[in-house]
Amino acid sequence: MPLTGKAMLKLYLQNGWIIDRINGSHYIVVKGRGRETIPVHSNRDLPKGTEGKLLKNLRSNQ
């Protein structure tokens, strides 16, 4: 099941990432030296490639 940007942001926050800033509808989160941009466009699902990249980086920075 595809994740929305809101759900992805929630996963990152639960894993210790911190919101650094918000630029429009893009949340920039940081943890240590890692930085990711999570697009939150209302309740739309993330594109398959974006979702995969974000999940991969979430697992590698735990």
Is 80 exceeded by the pLDDT of residue 1?
no
pLDDT at 26: 97
Task: Map 17-38 to HEC letters.
Answer: CEEEEEECCEEEEEECCEEEEE
pTM: 0.92
DSSP state of 16: T
Look up residue 37 and give its amino acid.
Answer: T
pLDDT at 23: 96
For 21-53, write each residue's pLDDT tens digit: 999 999 999 999 999 999 999 889 999 999 999
Domains of the chain with CATH codes: 5-60 (3.30.920.30)
Phi-psi region of 19 (alpha: psi -120 to 50; beta: other; left: phi over 0): beta
